[in-house]
């Protein structure tokens, strides 16, 4: 199943994607969930009702008539993990980065979240705007201290994330949070692809194109810490809740490590695809000069 959040007729709704149309779950399910976390909190019962609604839809809306939002427009938590792909460590070998023995977590402020086709802003304060294609995990069940072998049971599904990074701001302090949290620097989607859609999350091809040029081409098989290990690790620290998003790292090919660096600029188009998960595509524009 492909679970989405969209804006339709002036309101945000939870829906499922069926072909080129959507089925409104916010209005058709008995509990009328008005947000993705509320829907995910229904658990297996909610998914069963959603599948039934998709199998026998009373009404659908063409996907082309709605504005597609991030599947969780404002997650409670949005975290990423650094240095989690072997090929990325290899391309950064000249920086003498140690191979991590534990996941290196950083926070992305949730105000960075935008939809899968919305524009990314090149900020006024830096020209070092970079991209990173990442598999995102969406938590489906409130949980704490999850065992690795039980982790997949608490995952609602997966999304395509662009962990947009402003490199000079990322490196100016001991944590990466500032450089990872600029407004519009967290596009993800286009939907939550549930487990039956994805299969093995450690066997997915992940690619990035900038203006049609292939820049990243890797596999989640390269991950040092698997999705299950990441969920288990973070859950030892804090309670994970439905709708929390965890970005899992990126393969080689980011712009800042090319020679010379290939920073994103206004007019660029960044397309990211993860096998069996989906595609997002975002234009880059100069940050508007207003304070609203």
Please state which CATH class domain 78-286 belongs to.
alpha beta
pLDDT of res. 121: 98
* Nearest Cα residue to 222 out of 89, 79, 95: 89
Specify the residue for token string 């290899």: 90
Average pLDDT of the residues in 30-34: 93
Share of the chain above pLDDT 90, in %: 88
Q: Are strands 245-247 and 78-82 parallel, antiparallel or unpaired?
A: parallel
pLDDT of res. 58: 79
Contacts of 235 (CB under 8 A, 6+ apart): 143, 144, 145, 146, 154
Whole-structure pTM value:
0.96
Average pLDDT of the residues in 240-258: 96
Average pLDDT of the residues in 184-210: 97
Q: Does residue 59 or residue 87 have the better pLDDT?
A: 87
Where does CATH 3.90.850.10 sit in the chain? Answer: 78-286
pLDDT of res. 282: 98
pLDDT tens-digit readout, 75-130: 999 999 999 999 888 888 787 777 889 999 999 999 999 999 999 999 999 999 99
Contacts of 195 (CB under 8 A, 6+ apart): 152, 155, 157
Q: What are the phi and psi torsion angles at 291 (to 5°)?
A: -110, 20
Q: What are the phi and psi torsion angles at 175 (to 5°)?
A: -110, 155
87 in Cβ contact with 221 (< 8 Å): no
- Give CA–CA dist 24/21, Å, rounded: 10
Checking if the pLDDT of 292 tops 60, the result is: no
pLDDT tens-digit readout, 120-163: 999 999 999 999 999 999 999 999 999 999 999 999 999 999 99
Checking if the pLDDT of 262 tops 70, the result is: yes
CA 223 to each of CA 100, 130, 138, 241: distance values in angstroms, whole numbers, following the listed order: 11, 20, 17, 24
């Amino acid at each position: 199943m492909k679970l989405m959040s969209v804006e339709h007729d002036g309101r945000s709704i939870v829906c499922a994607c069926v072909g080129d149309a959507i089925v409104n779950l916010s209005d058709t399910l008995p509990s009328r969930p008005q947000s993705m976390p509320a829907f995910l909190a229904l658990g297996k019962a909610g998914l069963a009702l959603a599948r039934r609604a998709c199998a026998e839809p009373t009404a659908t809306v063409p996907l082309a008539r709605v504005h597609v939002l991030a599947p969780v427009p404002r997650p409670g938590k949005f975290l990423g993990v650094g240095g989690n792909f072997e090929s990325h460590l290899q391309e950064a070998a000249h920086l003498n980065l140690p191979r991590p023995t534990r996941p290196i977590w950083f926070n992305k402020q949730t105000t960075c979240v935008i939809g899968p086709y919305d524009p990314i802003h090149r900020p006024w304060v830096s020209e070092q705007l970079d991209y990173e294609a990442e598999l995102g995990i969406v938590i489906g069940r409130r949980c704490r201290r999850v065992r690795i072998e039980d982790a997949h049971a608490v995952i609602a599904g997966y999304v395509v994330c662009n962990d947009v990074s402003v490199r000079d701001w990322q490196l100016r302090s001991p944590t990466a949070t500032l450089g990872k949290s600029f407004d519009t620097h967290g596009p993800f989607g286009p939907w939550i692809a549930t487990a039956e859609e994805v299969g093995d999350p450690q066997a997915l091809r992940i690619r990035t194109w900038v203006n049609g040029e292939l820049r990243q081409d890797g596999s989640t098989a390269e991950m040092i810490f698997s999705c299950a290990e990441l969920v288990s690790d973070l859950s030892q620290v804090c309670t994970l809740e439905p709708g929390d998003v965890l970005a899992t790292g990126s393969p080689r090919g980011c712009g800042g490590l090319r020679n010379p660096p290939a920073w994103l600029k206004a007019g660029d188009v960044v397309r990211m695809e993860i096998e069996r998960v989906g595609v997002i595509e975002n234009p880059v524009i100069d940050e508007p000069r207003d304070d609203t």
